[in-house]
Amino acid sequence: MNKFDKVCQEALIEMFHRVGLEMTWDEILEYAEADEDWYQSKEWTKAEDSAFSKYLRKKIKKSMPGILKKNIDSEVAMFMLMWGWKTVK
Name the least confident of 2-6, 38-42, 75-79.
2-6
**Rounded to the nearest 5°, which phi and psi values hold at 64?**
-135, 75
Average pLDDT over residues 44-50: 96
Number of domains in the chain: 1
**pTM recorded for the entire structure:** 0.90
**CB-based burial label for 83 (10 Å; 0-12, 13-18, 19+):** middle
Domain around 77: 3-88
Confidence of residue 53 (pLDDT cuts 50, 70, 90): very high
Confidence of residue 89 (pLDDT cuts 50, 70, 90): confident
Structural contact between residues 13 and 55, judged by C-beta atoms closer than 8 angstroms: no
Our CA angle for 73, 47, 22, nearest 5°, is: 90
